[in-house]
C-alpha cells in the first residue's frame, strides 16, 4: 500500500473511532476500548503524516490485503514477532480449510451431464470462484468467476459470491434473473473498488445450455468442427447495481463439451514473458471432441505445463469442463 493511497482508509478509521466512542459511553471503565481508541488515533496520525501503510520496522509498504483486513496493522509480514506470525499461520490454515470446504464435488454428474474441474490457487487461498449445483432431476447450474485482487481479501469475496448464488439457486430463477440479483446484492454489500468477473450457466434437457457472462473469459464450446468461443457480454459484477445480463443459448450435441476457465490459464506467461493465450487453448481443445471431461482438463493442463517450461504461475487458475454424453 503506497502512502499516497492512505486517505482511502481515513473514512474507515473515523467510522471505527465513532463506534468505539459510542461503546465507551456505555462502558466508561473499559481498558480494552481505551487501547483500541489509542490505536485508531495513532493510525489517523499516520494518515495525516503520510506514513500510513508503511512498516514501522523496515519502512517498506505493508501487504495490501493485510492492511485492507486490518487498517491498524503496523508491520509487514517479515517483521511480525513470533506470536503474531504463528497467529497469521493459524488464520491462513483455517482459511485454506474453509475454502476447500466450499468447492463442489470434483466429478459431478446430473442426468446426461458430466463435469470435471481443476482449482489451483497461486497462494494459500484463491479469489477464483467455482461451483456446481443440481437443477431438478437431470440438470445443473454451473458457475466460474474471478474476484479482483489476490490472497485472503479476494478469497473472502469469493466466499461471499458462493453464499449469494447458493441462496438464490433455490428460488427457481432464470440465469438472467439469478445473475442480475446476485449483482445487486454484491454491489450493495461490497466496496466501490471491489468487483468480480463471473459466468453463470444452466445445463438442461436435450443439451440446452444457457450462459450469462459478466465480463468473464469467454467459454469454449468443443464441437465436431472445432472449438468455438461464446463471446463475453456484460460488465463485471459489483460495478453497477442495475445492469442486465442477457443469456447466450446453445444446444450441445452428444460428445460436445463446454470449457470454462479463469485468466490464470490464458494469461499465464513463460520464462520469455510470452502469453499462453486463448488461441492456443482453443487449438488444444479443438482435438478433444467426445473425450471425457477429466481427460480434456488434463490435456489442457499438460499443454500449459509444457508451455511454461518450469515458470511459476502468478495467478489463480480454474478450469471447469462440462460435457454432454458420449460422442455419437
Residue range 249-261, pLDDT digits in tens? 999 999 999 999 9
Does the structure show a pLDDT above 90 at 304?
yes
Is the entire prediction scored with pTM above 0.85? no
311-317 mean pLDDT: 90
- Collapsed DSSP state (helix, strand, coil) of residue 192: coil
C-alpha cell at 107: 466429478
Q: What angle do CA 220, 225, 229 make, to 5 degrees?
A: 20
Domains and CATH numbers, the chain: 13-96 (1.20.120.910), 105-324 (3.60.40.10)
Residue 328: CB atoms within 10 Å = 8
Q: What was the pLDDT predicted at 326?
A: 65
281-299 mean pLDDT: 96
Residues sharing a CB contact under 8 Å with residue 202, sequence separation 6 or more, in sequence order = 135, 139, 140, 141, 142, 175, 209, 210
Q: What was the pLDDT predicted at 5?
A: 58
218-245 pLDDT, tens digit per residue, is 999 999 999 999 986 789 999 898 888 9
Top pLDDT among 155 and 8 is at 155
140-146 mean pLDDT: 96
Q: What was the pLDDT predicted at 1?
A: 44
60-85 mean pLDDT: 82
Confidence band, pLDDT 50/70/90 cuts, at residue 328: very low
Does the structure show a pLDDT above 90 at 81?
no
Amino acid at each position: 500500500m503506497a502512502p499516497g493511497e492512505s486517505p482511502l482508509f481515513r473514512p474507515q478509521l473515523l467510522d471505527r473511532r465513532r463506534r468505539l466512542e459510542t461503546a465507551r459511553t456505555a462502558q466508561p471503565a473499559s481498558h480494552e476500548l481505551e487501547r483500541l481508541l489509542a490505536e485508531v488515533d495513532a493510525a489517523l496520525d499516520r494518515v495525516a503524516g503520510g506514513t500510513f501503510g508503511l512498516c514501522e520496522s523496515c519502512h517498506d509498504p505493508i501487504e495490501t490485503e493485510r492492511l485492507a483486513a486490518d487498517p491498524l496493522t503496523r508491520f509487514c509480514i517479515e517483521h511480525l514477532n513470533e506470536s503474531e506470525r504463528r497467529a497469521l499461520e493459524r488464520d491462513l490454515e483455517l482459511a485454506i480449510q474453509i475454502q476447500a470446504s466450499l468447492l463442489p464435488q470434483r466429478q459431478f454428474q446430473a442426468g446426461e451431464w458430466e463435469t470435471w474441474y481443476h482449482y489451483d490457487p497461486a497462494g494459500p487461498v484463491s479469489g477464483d470462484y467455482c461451483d456446481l449445483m443440481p437443477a431438478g432431476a437431470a440438470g445443473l447450474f454451473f458457475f466460474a468467476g474471478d474476484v479482483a485482487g489476490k490472497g485472503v481479501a479476494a478469497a473472502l469475496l469469493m466466499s461471499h459470491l458462493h453464499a449469494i448464488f447458493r441462496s438464490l439457486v433455490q428460488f427457481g430463477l432464470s440465469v438472467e434473473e439469478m445473475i442480475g440479483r446476485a449483482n445487486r446484492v454484491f454491489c450493495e454489500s461490497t466496496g466501490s473498488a471491489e468487483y468480480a468477473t463471473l459466468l453463470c450457466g444452466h445445463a438442461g434437457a436435450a443439451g440446452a445450455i444457457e450462459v450469462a457472462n459478466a465480463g468473464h473469459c469467454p467459454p469454449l464450446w468443443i464441437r465436431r468442427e472445432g472449438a468455438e468461443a461464446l463471446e463475453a457480454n456484460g460488465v463485471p459484477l459489483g460495478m453497477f447495481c442495475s445492469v442486465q445480463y442477457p443469456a447466450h443459448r446453445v444446444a450441445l450435441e452428444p460428445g460436445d463439451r463446454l470449457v470454462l476457465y479463469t485468466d490464470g490459464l490464458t494469461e499465464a506467461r513463460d520464462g520469455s514473458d510470452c502469453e499462453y493465450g486463448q488461441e492456443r487453448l482453443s487449438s488444444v481443445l479443438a482435438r478433444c471432441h467426445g473425450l471425457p471431461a477429466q481427460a480434456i482438463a488434463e490435456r489442457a493442463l499438460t499443454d500449459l505445463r509444457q508451455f511454461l517450461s518450469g515458470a511459476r504461475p502468478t495467478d489463480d487458475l480454474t478450469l471447469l469442463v462440462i460435457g454432454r454424453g458420449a460422442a455419437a
